[in-house]
Structure 1
Amino acid sequence: MELIIRSYDLKLKHTFTISRESITIQPSMIVELKSDGQSGFGEATSNPYYKITVPKMTADLESIRSLIESTTTETPEEFWSKIHPFLQDDLFALCALDMAYNDLYARKKGKKLYQLWDHPITNNPITNYTIGIDTIDKMVEKMEELPWPIYKIKLGTQEDIAIVKELRKRSKAIFRIDANCGWGVDETIKNAIELKKLGVEFLEQPLKADNWDGHAQVFKESVLPVIADESCIIEADVAKCNQHFHGINIKLVKCGGLTPARRMIAEGRKLGLKTMVGCMTESSVGISAIAQLLPQLDYVDMDGPLLLAEDIADGVLIVDGKVTYADGNGTGVVLK
């Protein structure tokens, strides 16, 4: 098996701002695995919050190139278990590799990945479209630029309620709120009351990730469901989120790929948690991998390609929140 690593700077349509940072360019690493005339593709984007860069991911993969390329017939689960000890400090790189291997494995089997997992796609959830923090006028403008059935609204400002009130005047869509660790306990409980009146479906990660006492209080007192993001990174975090959150938002890059994400989804559902997978502004490479998990999810945030000025790949197509799968097997990705 041959390993090929590419890097891209994904230019965004608009400056994308959350409570802790703003970006106009999203660096991304694409992994291609080639074997027997077939190729599988995976992706991981850089992230300063987790101290991950494309050069770091590239170096970490290069350090085990011979181990990767010696793989022959292992299942994705066996491959992940073999590689994990060498990349446990860089789960982003492991994600791109695992994604590519799953894609390649399914292509060799002549099936789309969700078919290989035997998941029907008749009741797939639709994806939200994210509105980053900006002036109220700009946020309204971004929302009206792309009418959508569900919006995720990034908050963590001094005028959060005013923002949602103004957006609600312009749309009857479902609203989801993501504060990215930007609120306190009392603020969250108070905001939830007002936001419920404004038709908000749930709150995502309002408190700092390690504030478990605060999460427990909000879980008990919030009038809106609360979904974990920064508090749910790896498999061991799922059980910790039980009785602290109503659901979990799994990010493939944070947990190490599709293989552990599937285990996290299964455990979350067993515990009665709502399951969601989110994106990190990936191209259609990463988003097409997320799409394979849709039958197992309650919610999904996979709007990455919609936020880009130009995509680097063809894959799943998203129209009005609904996903149409690519024709090809695996994840169906084709690099442009």
Structure 2
Amino acid sequence: MRRMQIQLLELPLARPFAISRGTRTAVTVIRVTLEQNGFIGRGECTPTPRYSETAESVHAQLEALQADIEAGLSRDALQTRLAAGSARNALDCALWRLDAALAKQTLWQQAARKVPVSVVTAETLSLDTRENMAEAATDAVSRGAVLLKIKLNRDEILEKVAAIRAVAPHATLIIDANEAWAGLDLQSLFNALLPYNIAMIEQPLPAGQDGDLQRFTHSIPLCADESCHTVAEIEGLRNRYEMINIKLDKCGGLTEALAMVVEAKKQEMRVMVGCMLGSSLAMEAALPVAIDAEHVDLDGPIWLAADSSPFLTYSQGRIWL
């Protein structure tokens, strides 16, 4: 007999986290624990208002499926019972870990992936003043960060990037606009950013309003985040983006994420793996996908005032495994 427990938790942040859509000082996560014959599988998700999710709505989705999960619903069957999103992610990852435990395997073995020694992860620079972002970049580089993700809105784009590049001359820089650049002359902006050696720009225009991206050659590669949730969308993004950002909370778990990697390669698109704010429990589930990614952004736990098991080790710009 399988048993399911649902927990709703608010995790305080160590410092405010700001993007173009607003600032957060805490993150609400939902954790699912499955127990079967003494074996445990756990999953964590972060409900996201941008995708019309609340903690209450996700909790209700999980409760509605609890009887079926406890009756033995498989993770393959789960894919058709819940739409892509954070509720399915929590259940999918819990089932992956439970299946691994029942088979006396690790998650890596269950996913048929080889464990690397470490994975380079981005450290995010929260949206702030030019001076504060440069200071945050200086601090990150001093601790060994080699990949910095710059959160920007429409204000002082070039000035902030220049200030960060000045204090991080050797770091790889990626930019995340979080859909904030509508109405800007993007071709001119991208060309102006070229001297700063930007590796990639994430989601410059709102999802559903990014058709303009196919009208000019991108001098800097573009990555679809809010525009890309599941396998079904990837082929249609080829004429607008060079890369997709796979997040388990968007796509609905590790099962869909692994399928997205396969489809991205088929469509000759590059892969990034990202995250919502969350604990090591959520980040660990995405690591089997990260080994196929050009850029990894799984720094959620370093923003928390206190992390949770399995307590991934973050050091020198890497996650050590």
Change (3 A) 1:164 1:212: closer
Query: Is the contact between residue 3 and residue 68 of structure 1 (CA under 8 Å) also seen in structure 2?
Result: yes
Q: Does 1:21 align with 2:15?
A: no
Aligned-partner Cα distance in 2 for 1:82–1:3? 17
Amino acid at match of 1:143: A
Change (3 A) 1:13 1:84: same
Aligned-partner Cα distance in 2 for 1:294–1:84? 21
The answer for the alignment partner of 1:65 in structure 2 is 66
Query: Among 277, 298, 301, which residue is 2:294 paired with?
Result: 298
Query: Scaled by the length of structure 1, what TM-score is found?
Result: 0.89
Unaligned stretches of 5+ residues in structure 2 = none
The answer for the alignment partner of 2:256 in structure 1 is 260
Query: Is the contact between residue 124 and residue 295 of structure 1 (CA under 8 Å) also seen in structure 2?
Result: no
Aligned counterparts, 1:143-158, within 5 A: 143-147=137-141, 148-158=145-155
Aligned-partner Cα distance in 2 for 1:121–1:190? 42
The answer for the alignment partner of 2:109 in structure 1 is 115
Q: Does 1:167 align with 2:168?
A: no
Q: Relative to structure 2, which stretch is displaced further, 131-140 or 118-127?
A: 118-127
- C-alpha displacement of 1:121: 3.8
Amino acid at match of 1:223: S
Query: Scaled by the length of structure 2, what TM-score is found?
Result: 0.93
- C-alpha displacement of 1:322: 2.1
Amino acid at match of 2:29: S
The answer for the alignment partner of 1:333 in structure 2 is none
Task: Kindly tell me the number of residue pairs found equivalent between the two proteins.
Answer: 316
- What does the per-residue CA deviation read over 1:109-168, in whole Å, with 9 as the maximum and x for residues that have no partner? 222222233323448651101011111122122223332111000111321110011111
Change (3 A) 1:253 1:121: same
Give the 3-state SS of the residue equivalent to 2:185 in structure 1: helix
The answer for the alignment partner of 2:269 in structure 1 is 273
Give the 3-state SS of the residue equivalent to 1:17 in structure 2: strand
Give the 3-state SS of the residue equivalent to 1:312 in structure 2: coil
Aligned-partner Cα distance in 1 for 2:4–2:314? 29
Q: Does 1:207 align with 2:202?
A: no
Query: Among 120, 128, 138, which residue is 1:134 paired with?
Result: 128
- C-alpha displacement of 1:84: 3.5
Amino acid at match of 1:28: V
Change (3 A) 1:175 1:80: same
Query: Is the contact between residue 153 and residue 178 of structure 2 (CA under 8 Å) also seen in structure 1?
Result: yes
- What does the per-residue CA deviation read over 1:56-88, in whole Å, with 9 as the maximum and x for residues that have no partner? 1111111121100011xx7xxxx2342344422
Aligned-partner Cα distance in 2 for 1:125–1:228? 22
Aligned-partner Cα distance in 1 for 2:125–2:219? 23
Change (3 A) 1:235 1:124: farther
Give the 3-state SS of the residue equivalent to 1:63 in structure 2: helix
Aligned-partner Cα distance in 2 for 1:149–1:263? 29
Query: Is the contact between residue 118 and residue 320 of structure 2 (CA under 8 Å) also seen in structure 1?
Result: no
Aligned-partner Cα distance in 1 for 2:315–2:219? 32
Amino acid at match of 1:137: E
Query: Is the contact between residue 125 and residue 297 of structure 1 (CA under 8 Å) also seen in structure 2?
Result: no
Aligned-partner Cα distance in 2 for 1:267–1:185? 31
Aligned-partner Cα distance in 2 for 1:180–1:212? 12
Aligned-partner Cα distance in 1 for 2:21–2:120? 27
Give the 3-state SS of the residue equivalent to 1:323 in structure 2: strand
Query: Is the contact between residue 44 and residue 286 of structure 1 (CA under 8 Å) also seen in structure 2?
Result: yes
Q: Identity of aligned pairs, percent?
A: 31
- C-alpha displacement of 1:32: 0.8
Would you identify which runs of 4 or more consecutive aligned residues in structure 1 move more than 3 Å?
121-125
Query: Is the contact between residue 117 and residue 320 of structure 2 (CA under 8 Å) also seen in structure 1?
Result: no
Question: C-alpha root-mean-square deviation of aligned residues, in Å?
Answer: 1.7
Unaligned stretches of 5+ residues in structure 1 = 326-336
Aligned-partner Cα distance in 1 for 2:150–2:275? 14
- C-alpha displacement of 1:40: 1.1
Query: Is the contact between residue 96 and residue 110 of structure 2 (CA under 8 Å) also seen in structure 1?
Result: no
Amino acid at match of 2:211: D
Amino acid at match of 1:33: L
